Structure 1
């Protein structure tokens, strides 16, 4: 399994519009593509108390894929490529040009 992480930052006044765009349009459009091997897409927001109030809002997308072929199918070829639609680029002040990927090494369920 492959974990794909991508991070974007927005000016404070653009954080909520960006997050709405991401959760209401971009993420559903990705899922509607039916990418084989895409297991999950999550959207995470960094707690504003951890950020400089004047700096930015930080949003992380977390995707899990079965394998590298599935990641390449999502990106259109280059597995490390960032996939950022023009509407999102207009709201973002900074974003990862390349996603980070991690392969699962082990899983430990909590004791019952």
Structure 2
């Protein structure tokens, strides 16, 4: 299992709109597309400082090959739809990929 982790920051004024885009448009489009090996997503949000809100998206895939089918051969590059670019203040140009070594729920 691979987690694809990416950070983006909005202004406080755009934070709710960006979260709405993630929940209602962006993440559902990933699930609806032919993304064999895509297993879901998590959204993390925190008040970064007085002016910014940070978001972390964690996309889960079966393998690096699944990530490449989703994002292409340059799979480390960020996948940021135009609507998101309009409300993001800044964002990581590249995503990071981690092997999930263990996961526990209590």
TM-score above 0.5: yes
Unaligned 5+ segments in structure 2 are: none
Q: Which has the higher strand share?
A: 2
Distance apart, 1:100 and its partner CA: 0.8
For 1:43-97, what per-residue CA distance to the aligned partner results, in whole angstroms no more than 9, with x for missing partners? 1112x2xx212x2111111111111110011112222011001110010011010
Distance apart, 1:34 and its partner CA: 3.3
Indicate yes or no: 2:58 matched with 1:52: no
Question: Against the structure 1 CA distance between its residues 19 and 108, is the aligned structure 2 distance closer, same or farther, given a 3 Å change threshold?
Answer: closer
Give the aligned partner of residue 33 of structure 2: 33
TM-score norm. by structure 1 comes to 0.86
Calculate the aligned-residue CA RMSD, in Å. Answer: 1.6
Give the aligned partner of residue 70 of structure 2: 74
- Following TM superposition, the consecutive aligned residue runs of length 4 or more in structure 1 with deviations greater than 6 angstroms are none
State how 1:1-112 maps to structure 2 within 5 Å: 1-46=1-46, 48=47, 51-53=48-50, 55-105=51-101, 107=102, 109=104
Q: 3-state SS of the aligned residue for 1:102?
A: strand
